[in-house]
Structure 1
């Protein structure tokens, strides 16, 4: 049945694409459809970029260099700490050193190593944050959009049915005679036209009601995602500045 409907719609779809037949256009819905497609493309792109960011984790070149730098800093601080450890004194050799300065230097080196390791750990754990606060939420938004997308596709099919029955009725009416046969054919085509218009109007009106609701919800869903991305970047750089 579905295949037969597709074949029935195909001639009209080809003619409509070529601009050789008149097509029904609802400008209000058309604007909503365009905006919906733009939103879907933007969310899909953001999801793709978030996944790429997640995949460019510690094993990737850029972050690998950052982690390598942090490890070098920790190693350097460890050397400084060793330098200020108490020195063994041979018999007869006096070793003079300010004990307070030595202890302060060791303490600062120890704290520095701890802070560097904290920053390194924070960087290594970034995937969890991105996955939970960005990727999973974006995927949920796209999941919410799927039923709407399917309904829009159904509406498109109903529009094709309505237009082809409408054009067939107009053509049949203009060529019709007063014969009983023509009257029956015209009545049957009128019935098909009425049914197709009713189905098209149903999908069209539902979408014109649902799409504005989705657009409002989309703003509420996207706001925390963008805030999460901003907070992640801000917190990371704040941590880097405070630690280093």
Structure 2
């Protein structure tokens, strides 16, 4: 702000405060007020159009780039698994890479050919689509983004005129009030001189205000009428480019769905669940992807997982928690878990340490308040804890089930009387 502009702002400040407080009258023009409100709506819409057009262009560019990157990653995942760390001897007439592939095919289950073909076709489609549509992004910049930004700059110039009109209105009102006060009072010789100066200033302010006010009232309607013709070409560009993208993608995907890897007769949700269910059994056999799997026995004799070397293992190594389902009134037999084996091995190494310790007799549990959302099982037989971490119970006790497996001949986890532990799954129903 220049020094002259700052001086005018200081001179207008007292009248501005008085008018906002209601102590001074303010000139109003209903016709101009209506035009200004309509202009504000146009200005807000133009700025929104400029922001959205730029976002639209950036989104299309990102879509094409990320689609091609996704296709490349998908193709890498579906590529055949080869033992890169080994160098098998190549047969006669076979390259080292062919030797690796042939060697890997003997050790790994490879991707289904139809899936590998689908990944390759999708990668080709993504690359071709990006190369075809990328040049048109320049058209979006030239015919949509740039015109919308030009419209915003044009409206910024109009806003400067509107702000100037507000300043001229303040000058008009304050000089009018000054002349009015001098005319209403008994004037001295000095007051007559002041009145003459005030009338000259008021006349100048009136001419400046009326000029800019009439200019806006005559040209703002024309500008508002031109908003549709100005924005219409931008809208046409947006429509035709979206139509082109839709046609290109529809044609390409129409060719892709002919591949046997895609079953378009199923919905996306059903197809996903079908694929996941087919792999669930394979994932169940992987110890790497689940927690609470049996860990490697510790070499510390004081650890509960310790297993002494050379001692016979009473449990089946492949199924440490397998036992027969109950068929008779007598409690079924069950194999000792790895935790029980550790205790027995420790006793064999260190004598009868702890042999004098007696477990307290089982007592009938008093009825407890049950959580309606919890799952409970009923004990079929009495079970006395054989090692730390076991859960003791009596027949007909209701045990809150915390964790179970699909196999009833396994060890489950439950809670009873505030204690949590594992117990044979075939002892409950």
Same fold (TM over 0.5): yes
Instruction: Tell me whether 1:147 sits opposite 2:157 in the alignment.
Output: yes
Q: C-alpha offsets along residues 41-89 of structure 1, whole Å, 9 cap, x if unaligned?
A: 211122112222333454x4x55443346668999xxxxxxxxxxxxxx
Could you tell me which of 8, 14, 19 is aligned with 1:16? Answer: 19
Question: Which position in structure 1 is the counterpart of 2:303?
Answer: none
1:125-144 mapped onto 2 (5 Å cutoff): 125-144=135-154
Q: Distance in 1 between matches of 2:23 and 2:134?
A: 60
Pick 1 or 2: higher relative contact order, CA cutoff 8 A, min separation 6: 1
Q: Distance in 2 between matches of 1:222 and 1:144?
A: 13
Question: Which position in structure 2 is the counterpart of 1:32?
Answer: 35
Given the two structures, how large is their TM-score scaled by the length of structure 2?
Answer: 0.44
Shift of the alpha carbon at 1:206?
Answer: 0.8
The worse-fitting range, judged by mean Cα deviation, of 130-139 and 226-235 is 226-235
Q: Distance in 2 between matches of 1:22 and 1:67?
A: 66
Instruction: Tell me whether 1:240 sits opposite 2:236 in the alignment.
Output: no
Any conservation in 2 of the 1:176–1:183 contact (CA below 8 Å)? no
Summarize the Cα distance change of 1:164–1:231 in structure 2 as closer, same or farther, 3 Å threshold.
Answer: same
RMSD of equivalent CA atoms: 3.2
Q: C-alpha offsets along residues 15-63 of structure 1, whole Å, 9 cap, x if unaligned?
A: 33334321111111111112212211211122112222333454x4x55
Instruction: Tell me whether 1:209 sits opposite 2:214 in the alignment.
Output: no
Given the two structures, how large is their TM-score scaled by the length of structure 1?
Answer: 0.74
Q: Distance in 2 between matches of 1:67 and 1:15?
A: 65
Kindly name which structure, 1 or 2, has the bigger radius of gyration based on alpha carbons. 2
Shift of the alpha carbon at 1:126?
Answer: 4.8
Structure with greater strand percent:
2
Structure with greater helix percent:
1
Structure 1 consecutive aligned stretches of length 4 or more whose deviation exceeds 4 Å: 62-65, 68-75, 111-117
Gaps of 5+ in 1: 76-110
Could you tell me which of 146, 151, 163 is aligned with 2:173? Answer: 163
Question: Which position in structure 2 is the counterpart of 1:42?
Answer: 45
Shift of the alpha carbon at 1:243?
Answer: 2.9
Summarize the Cα distance change of 1:70–1:233 in structure 2 as closer, same or farther, 3 Å threshold.
Answer: farther
Aligned length: 211
Question: Which position in structure 1 is the counterpart of 2:400?
Answer: none
Gaps of 5+ in 2: 77-120, 254-429
Shift of the alpha carbon at 1:227?
Answer: 1.7
